[in-house]
Chains A and B, each alone.
Chain A
């Protein structure tokens, strides 16, 4: 098999002592920042971008792979011990895992989450190894019109699935698209929406937008309605470990969660939220102890946590093969690639095989490291949760400042950061999801360029989008995914008022 050979070459790259060190640094930093309450995987990656600024691309991406998986592992610790999910896909882990911890089973909850994440991450990475080259081979042939259609599909599904209201998701998306327009138009050289500021000719850096909307916005929002009572962190006695019975009850949910999570990550359908919920429902149905669910059933942690991590691996399939991010974290990884002048997509497998395969190999390595880091060291990570909130949020803000300032050594960017912070506050206050805006900022310019390439190739004939079979099919899916949920909602409403509310 070609993939096996390429993977071995990737391991050769990733297993050099220096790259192993970067991988270790990545998983450690990723877990460290991921554990901190208030910081999900997307923000973890964005905050740690400046750390990689001076590295060569291969080492930088090996470190990113570690940060990416590390942030996911760290998030489950916070969910279980503090009952605060850093992102929507950890809600179930918080729900069931925190109940387990309250019953004195924190060690088992952390262990099943960590081992489940390891199993799912490894299987998911293996699937990625074999699926990615095959898809990349096909993807080279996809015409620009279909790529544009694919991005539309990602836009619509991501806007409609994050948060409760598709209208609010779409507004958030359009806000991101508008931000993405700022700067010099690459094809014609025209300045757009720069308001006369020369600093805006290069556009607004996505890091400024991400850190402003996520970190500064969150800091402002939490400050405005601060929880007065002390957060109740559950003490962890000893290492994360499981009994024989825990193993017996966990291994099937791990595998089932993996099977659910990977495909959902790989299609543009709004990330890991759906498979974690599906996995939870499935485990509840199959369990011999359904009465334990909602009170701390180990299957309810094992399955969703595996689904979560498998989808994180699945997300890398469209990202690496099509350049299409299907989650906020993937969008930030995409932008990180772009900073190095690399465009993820089918050609990357041809032009930079050492980078792609080094990255994939380091995902296996990072997974093993994370398992080793998380089981025995769980008590140390747990202690991070005890940092007093004033010092924690102050530190997050200083770190944000470093990240944004060091992009261009520009004070102007810090003023932009403050503006996006205020907008991020407003989005939380008025219930607009942040992720669609991030996706809009990063994918908007890509969408525009594919759109223009497609129309140029067809000599200005706009019907290319409906005549090219693949594009037409995907655009039909876009329409359906906008319409069907509305129809279902309307029917549910008509069927019975007061019945369970849809959405």
Chain B
């Protein structure tokens, strides 16, 4: 992707970006947790390089890279959100929409075993469609059910995968 905005000149001290700071600190925390986890791994026996060595390299590396990121953030570096297909780089980010999708996904996941694959994924389908601005709700519910049903039949009958039938057991 081409960078549309010129990066700030190093001479001017850019204001500190708090979200970027949180990311840099988050990576340092991740590195710390990895290191703590590494120290819990027992030394291997009969091995020249035990199961601890690689995790040690990865966790120390993560800590170092996190520190470098922290330095660059403190010097005013600010991450540009990626330019993706279908996304508008100038739009105001609206975190409610991903929230709706995540909530729908988690509800669908919890319903997957008791109610079955069709109803569970229909909930997920509905929540994504709703978050993307579809407001013809009866249509969305209908498409959600049809897509979930067709997917279920295609994968279980056509490809022999086993997906939970749930309440539709015996019907399908």
Residues of A within 8 A of B (CB): 37-38, 50-51, 53-54, 82, 84-86, 88, 91, 164, 167-168, 170-171, 174-175, 177-178, 181, 185, 187-188, 190, 192-193, 216, 218-228, 231, 388-391, 393-395, 397-399, 401-402, 405-406, 409, 411, 414-415, 418, 421-422, 425-426, 428-431, 444, 448, 451-452, 455-456, 459-460, 497, 501
Contacts and interface: CB of A to CB of B under 8 A. Distances in A.
A225 B42 contact: no
Contacts of B106: 415, 418
28 contacts: A50-B161, A54-B160, A164-B3, A178-B30, A185-B44, A187-B51, A192-B51, A193-B55, A221-B82, A222-B84, A224-B94, A224-B97, A225-B88, A226-B133, A227-B88, A228-B88, A393-B128, A394-B125, A394-B132, A398-B147, A406-B161, A409-B164, A415-B106, A421-B102, A431-B81, A452-B48, A452-B53, A456-B47
A460 B47 CA distance: 9
B15 interface: no
Mostly helix, strand, loop or mixed at chain B's interface? helix
A6 B105 CA distance: 48
From DSSP, what is the main secondary structure of chain A's interface residues? Answer: helix
Contact of A174 (B41, B61, B100, B163): B61
A371 B80 CA distance: 39
Nearest to B89: A225
B91 A226 contact: yes
Contacts, number: 237
Given A415-B106, A429-B93, 9 more contacts: A178-B30, A188-B44, A220-B98, A221-B87, A223-B97, A389-B86, A394-B125, A415-B109, A418-B102
B172 interface: no
Contacts of A221: 81-82, 84, 87, 98
Contacts of A168: 69, 79
B51 A84 contact: no
Report the contact-size class of chain B (Cβ under 8 Å from the partner): 35 or more
Given A190-B41, A220-B98, A395 B84 contact: no
B147 A395 contact: yes
A459 B161 contact: no
Which 10 residue pairs across A and B have the least CB separation, nearest first? A188-B44, A390-B132, A390-B134, A394-B128, A84-B85, A185-B51, A223-B97, A220-B98, A460-B48, A431-B79
Contact of B124 (A53, A401, A456): A401
A190 B7 CA distance: 47
Given A190-B42, A405-B112, A426-B23, A38 B85 contact: yes
Contacts of B69: 167-168, 171
A38 B86 contact: yes
A226 B155 contact: no
A425 B49 contact: no
A37 to B, nearest CB: 5
Given A178-B58, A390-B140, A411-B113, A54 B159 contact: yes
Interface in B1-45: 1, 3, 6-7, 9, 19-20, 23, 27, 30, 34, 37, 41-42, 44-45
Given A164-B3, A226-B88, A425 B65 contact: no
Contacts of B81: 221, 225, 428-431
Contacts of A224: 93-95, 97-98
B134 A391 contact: yes
Interface of B: 1, 3, 6-7, 9, 19-20, 23, 27, 30, 34, 37, 41-42, 44-45, 47-51, 53-55, 58-59, 61-62, 65-66, 68-69, 72, 79-82, 84-89, 91-95, 97-98, 100-102, 105-106, 108-110, 112-113, 117, 121, 124-126, 128-134, 140, 143-144, 147-148, 151, 155, 159-164
B3 A418 contact: no
A226 B37 contact: no
A276 to B, nearest CB: 14
Contacts of B92: 225
A391 B135 CA distance: 12
Nearest to B88: A227
Contacts of B9: 497
Nearest to B81: A429
Nearest to B125: A394
Contacts of B1: 88, 91
Contacts of B110: 411
Nearest to A440: B58
A451 B151 contact: no
A124 B126 CA distance: 44
Nearest to A406: B161
